[in-house]
Amino acid sequence: MSKNQNTFIKKQKAELKKRKKRDKQEKMAARKDQPKSGDLDDMIAYVDEFGNISDTPPEPEPPKKENPQRKENPPRREYPNNAQQQNNRNTNLKS
């Protein structure tokens, strides 16, 4: 009885192995038959402001109008003794 089971299991394993090999060959043939597209346009994906991926480029945003009444920030002051002030700060920390 055990001898019959062993041969049956061996036959099942061999059949499964053949089926897997045949499926793999079919998949390889299907991949070879597909047209290969190496165009750059096919490989590019765009991400919109919400994080969604799409094939089409986003629409250009309209230029923003600047407020003419808004004043620009004044330039920063330059201190002539800037290096000396930094040295004074470091000496205060040491003591």
pLDDT per residue as tens digits for the range 15-37 = 999 999 999 999 999 999 887 77
Q: Which residues make beta-bridge pairs with 46? A: 54
Residue ranges per domain, the chain?
1-30
* 3-30 CB burial, b ≥16 within 10 A, e <16: eeeeeeeeeeeeeeeeeeeeeeeeeeee
DSSP 73-94: PPPPP--TTHHHHHHHHHHHHH
Can you give the pLDDT at residue 9? 92
Query: Can you tell me whether residue 10 is helix, strand or coil?
Result: helix
Q: Could you report how far apart the first and last alpha carbons of the chain are, in Å?
A: 95
What global pTM score does this model have? Answer: 0.38
